[in-house]
Structure 1
Amino acid sequence: MKKVTVYCGSSKGNNPVYVEAAKLLARELIKRNLSLVYGAGNIGLMGVIADEMLAADMSVYGIIPQKLVNIEVAHNGCTELTVVETMRDRKWLMAERGDGFIAMPGGIGTLEELFEIMTLNQLAYIHKPLALFNVNGYYDKLLEFLRQACDEGFLKNVQLDSLIVSDQPEELMDRMVSFQSSTFPKG
Structure 2
Amino acid sequence: MSELQSNINSSLSMKDLLDTITSASMGILIIILLCIVVFSLMLHRTRKRLIAVHNRLKAEKQSLEQAKTQIKSLKKESAKKSDKIERLNNDIMVASQSSEANARCGKELYLHIKNGGTTVTWTKQDYELCMAYCKIEFAETMAEIERCYGNIAPRKQLIMLLQHLNYDYAAIGRVLGINSDSVRKNIARITPLTK
TM-score range, shorter-chain basis?
A: under 0.3
Richer in helix (by share): 2
Larger Rg: 2
Higher relative contact order (CA 8 A, sep 6+): 1
